[in-house]
Amino acid sequence: MTTVMSEQNQVENPHTHVDALKDELSEARHRLNDFVAYGIGGLPVRKESMLFHEVSCMVRRPPFTRTSRRKNVLKSVDFPEGCEYDEAVVDRPLRVIPEALRQQTHSFGFNALEMTPSQMLAHWFIMFQEYDLLSKYKIHGETLRDYFLTVHNAYRTNTYHNFNHAMDVAQFAFALFANSEQLRTKLSSLDILCCLVLGLAHDMDHPGVNNAFLVKTRDPVAMLYNDQSVLENAHAASLFLMFHNKPTCNVLANVEGDEYSQARKTILRGILATDMARHFALVKEISAHQSLTEVEEVPDDVRMSLIDCIAKSGDICHLVRPWPVAKAWEDLVMEEFFEQGDYEKQLGMTPDGLFDREKCKVANSQCWFYDNMGKPLFKALEHHVPTTAATLLDVMQANVSKWKEMC
C-alpha cells in the first residue's frame, strides 16, 4: 500500500508543480513587458533595476497581482510650447517661462487634473528654479527631468492615486512655501527640496486599494511590512531603491554626509506621515509645538513635524482647492473607493460602507471628512502659518458648505 501511494504522489505532484510554473510564467510575462518599457525609458536592462517589491522573492505570488493596473509608460517628455530649455545652463535650464505658467505654479488654485505631462514638467522645473535648488544641490537639468519621467512611469493608471495626484501634492508643498514667509525663512533649502521630492514620489506604484485591503487579502507587500503603513513603506522604499538602481534620476546624488542623512530621514518621515492611520497623532503633535511665529530658530523636532504636516496637508489638499477642482478630485477618490468595494464583493468580502457604492451617502461622507479630518489638520497648520492657512480654511469652509447643500 505504501508503495502504491508513493507512486500516486509521484504522478500527481509534477502536475501541481507544472500548474504553478505556468501561473508564474504568465505573471512573469506581464512583469517583463513593464520591464522592457522601463528599459526603453532609460532604466539599465538588468533585474535589479525593477522596483524592490516587484522582484521580491520572499513569496511565490508577486505583490499587488490582484489589483494591478498597467502603467502609462512615457519614453520621453518635452516642455510645452512657449518654454525654452537649454540643458547646458546649470542653474536655470528652463530659460524662458510664460508668466501665466509661473503664476499658476504659485497658485493654490492649481488644477493638475487638466494638465499634460509636458505642462506638469514645466511646473516641476519652475518649483526647483524658484529656490535655486538646481545650483545649490548640483542637480543637472536632465537629472531632474529623468526623475520626473521615472517617477511618472512608476505610477499606475488609477482613478485617483495617479501621477496627476502626485503633481497636485508636490505643487501644494511649493505653494505653501511660495505664499508663506514664515515657512520660507524658518525652514531650509534642503527642507524645500525634500518636500518636493517626497511630494511627487509619495504614492509611487499605488495599486488603487488601501492598506486595509492589502492586509485583509494577505498581500505579499502587507507581509513584507508586517501590516504597518504598508503602502507608505512600499512607496518610500521604492523611491530610494529607484535612486540606487537608476543613478541618472537621483536628484540627491550630490547631497552628501549629514545633509544626505537628514534628507533621507525627512523624506521617509514625510511619506510615512501620509498614512491616514497616523492622522490624529500628527495633528496633536503639530498643534502642541511652539508656533513658528514665536521662534527665531526652529528646533529639529518642530521642523520635522512641520514637514510631516506639509506632506499630509498636501495629500488631502483637494479640500482647499477652489470648488470645481475640489469636487472633481473628490468624485475621483470616491470612485476609486467604490472600485475597491466592487472588487471586495467579487472576492466574497463585505466592503466598509464608505467603499460600497450602493450604501454610501457621498455628500454625508465628504462633510464628515472635511469636518473631522481636514479642518483639524489645517487648523494645526494655521498655528504655524496663520495668514496662509486662514485663507485655505476659508476655501475649505466654502467647499464643505457646497457638500452640505447636497445632504
Q: Name the binding residues for AMP.
A: 161-165, 203, 315, 366
Residue 160: name the closest of 124, 113, 115 by CA.
113
Question: For residue 24, which amino acid is it?
Answer: E
**Are 402 and 327 a contacting pair, CB within 8 Å?**
yes
- Please report, in range form, the residues annotated as the binding site for Zn(2+): 165, 202-203, 315
C-alpha torsion sign, points 325, 331, 333, 336: negative
What is the crossing angle of helices 163-178 and 189-201, to 10°?
160
**Are 359 and 353 a contacting pair, CB within 8 Å?**
yes
**Are 246 and 35 a contacting pair, CB within 8 Å?**
no
Q: Which residues contact 186 (CB under 8 A, 6 or more apart)?
A: 292, 295, 298
Would you call 279 a catalytic residue per the annotation? no
Concatenated DSSP letters of 98-160 = -HHHHHHHH-TT--GGG--HHHHHHHHHHHHHHTTHHHHTT--HHHHHHHHHHHHHHSB--SS
Compute the residue count for the chain. 407
CA neighbours within 13 Å on the CB side: how many for 242?
A: 28
Burial of 269 (0-12, 13-18, 19+ CB in 10 A): middle
- Please report, in range form, the residues annotated as the binding site: 161-165, 202-203, 315, 366
- Tracing cell 525609458 back to the chain, one arrives at 41
Taking residue 401's Cβ as centre, other Cβ atoms within 10 Å add up to 12
- Among the listed residues 53, 123, 152, 161, the single catalytic one is 161
Burial of 300 (0-12, 13-18, 19+ CB in 10 A): exposed
Active site residues: 161
